[in-house]
């Protein structure tokens, strides 16, 4: 989905839909930390959308190479209801994480998991339920 298509979502009356609208209200800079360094220091920002209805679901920073299999909570940049989970004191385990659903058609996109090696909460993405596209609006901080 290109920027124009994302902006077409603006103006929807459905309050459940995320407005990936201009002026852009997601994050404009990538995170740089040890998780990223351990994956080679290269990152890309993705817009993950619903394969069923094309509704954008989240802006996500993927660190390192390889396929997108899971989304760590601490790499979800937008929207706030998902990006705030990483700072929510009530969200301490997979049991307290909501399922990841499309905000529009309610398709089930991801299930809560822990990446044991780093003890990081994440969503395991369900194959073929989502699409991803590079978000070129986000700059890498020097």
Positions that interact with Zn ion (CB under 5 A): 50, 52-53, 55, 102, 104-105, 107
Q: How far is CA 72 from CA 3, 28, 32, 34, in A?
A: 24, 18, 14, 14
Q: How far is the CB of 4 from Zn ion (least distance, A)?
A: 20
Report the half-sphere exposure of 88 (CA within 13 A, side-chain side).
Answer: 16
Nearer to Zn ion, 2 or 14 (CB): 14
**Distance (Å, whole) CA 2 – CA 131:** 12
**How near is the Cβ of 6 to Zn ion at its closest, in Å?**
14
Residue with tokens 């529009």: 104
Smallest gap from Cβ 84 to Zn ion, in A, equals 21
In this complex, which beta carbon is closest to Zn ion, that of residue 27 or of residue 129? 129
Of 18 and 102, the one with the shorter C-beta distance to Zn ion is 102
């Amino acid at each position: 989905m290109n920027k124009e298509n994302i902006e077409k979502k603006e103006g929807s009356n459905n309050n459940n839909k995320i407005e990936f609208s201009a002026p852009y209200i997601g994050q404009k800079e990538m995170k740089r930390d040890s998780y990223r360094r351990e994956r080679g220091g290269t990152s890309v920002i993705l817009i993950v959308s619903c394969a069923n209805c094309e509704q954008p679901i989240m802006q996500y920073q993927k660190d390192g190479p390889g396929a997108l299999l899971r989304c760590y909570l601490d790499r979800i940049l937008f929207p706030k209801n998902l990006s705030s989970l990483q700072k929510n004191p009530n969200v301490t385990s997979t049991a307290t994480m909501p399922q990841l659903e499309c905000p529009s058609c309610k398709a089930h996109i991801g299930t809560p998991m822990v990446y044991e090696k780093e003890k990081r909460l994440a969503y395991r993405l369900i194959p073929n339920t989502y699409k991803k596209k590079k978000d070129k609006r986000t700059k890498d901080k020097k």
